[in-house]
Amino acid sequence: METTFGEKSTAEEVARDIRLDDKNVIVTGANSGIGKECSRVLCKMGANVYMLCRDSGRGTSSRDDIIKELGETVAGRLHLMKCDLASFKSIREFSAEWERLDLPLHILLNNAGIMACPRSETEDGFETQFGVNHLGHFLLTNLLLPSLKKAGSARVVNVSSNSHHISGIRFDVCGKTDIYDEWWGSWKAYGISKSANILFTNELDRRYKADGIHSNSLHPGVITTELGKTHWTSPIKTFFGKIFNKTIPQGAATSIYVATAPELEGVGGKYFSDCAIAVPEKATENEDDAKKLWELSEKWVGL
């Protein structure tokens, strides 16, 4: 599938003249970086945007920034909702709040993530990167399925990473901090979580495309954001990133493309990079592993 967009395209360029009036969109990790930029662009496109943030204070500040730029007229379409993806309890509380709104959900952009953090666990006892990047979004997406089905035609966009090449899914250590005992353990844990994003995406599309729900994953590019701020290499990456990395508007482009491009209507189970279909690590296309991960994830999150 050919596209006129590429590595240097920005989110606004990708948005073109596409209108999302009366469409409801959820963006996770919307308080900064790509999530904030996607929220801004989607709102500018006319969508009702629900910014999911762990920190209400930072979320409010980001929402205020967007309203200041786009004008007070968008305030009624830009909503802040609290959800901590490191907490199954928080995700379920958000889901109950969302259910009371009784709205169809047209686009779910699972953007939030953490990268190469020190050894730690979520409040539910899972290795933090796997717990947030995969399990949090897995539970959230499953709880939102009724709203996605209600839309008639819906898209789920999962932000993975080219770092999935570091490690495929490893059922012996995924969700466990044991991985940190290995050399380069924090990065392997990140790679496992990003491989899980792709496997989850593909299985979601297989299971629910008949209901009008299509799911795709993507690599946003290498961007200087707060994602890797906990890693010791952060100052080095920030210095060189100013020269070589994508800007945040460029980093948000593939997410906006996959979420809104009319030419992708009905397309699912694909992996994108630089606003085009790309080829992921072969292991992430293993249907047996995708099914096994889904079934284990259901058990882990209590579905």
Structural domain boundaries of the chain?
11-301
**Residue 275 DSSP code:** T
Please determine, for residue 143, whether its predicted confidence score (pLDDT) is greater than 70: yes
Calculate the average pLDDT of the chain.
Answer: 93
* pTM more than 0.85: yes
Task: Encode pLDDT of 203-248 as tens digits.
Answer: 999 999 999 999 999 999 998 644 444 444 444 444 333 445 899 9
Token duo for residue 12 = 């606004």
Q: In this predicted structure, what is the pLDDT of residue 234?
A: 43
Distance between CA atoms of residues 174 and 197, nearest Å: 12
Task: Encode pLDDT of 84-120 as tens digits.
Answer: 999 999 999 999 999 999 999 999 999 999 999 999 9
Q: Residue 255, exposed/middle/buried by CB under 10 A (0-12, 13-18, 19+)?
A: buried
Q: In this predicted structure, what is the pLDDT of residue 35?
A: 97
Query: What is the 3 state secondary structure string of 61-93?
Result: HHHHHHHHHHCHHHHHHEEEEECCCCCHHHHHH
Distance between CA atoms of residues 191 and 299, nearest Å: 22
Which residues are part of the catalytic machinery? 180
The answer to whether 165 touches 195, Cβ cutoff 8 Å, is no
Contacts of 289 (CB under 8 A, 6+ apart): 169, 199, 283
Please determine, for residue 298, whether its predicted confidence score (pLDDT) is greater than 60: yes
Q: Which fold has domain 11-301?
A: Rossmann fold (3.40.50)
Longest dimension (CA), the chain: 52
The answer to whether 245 touches 186, Cβ cutoff 8 Å, is no
Please determine, for residue 81, whether its predicted confidence score (pLDDT) is greater than 60: yes
Task: Encode pLDDT of 148-192 as tens digits.
Answer: 999 999 999 999 999 999 999 999 999 999 999 999 999 999 999
How many Cα atoms sit within 13 Å of 87 on the Cβ side?
11
Distance of CA 270 to the CA centre of its chain: 15
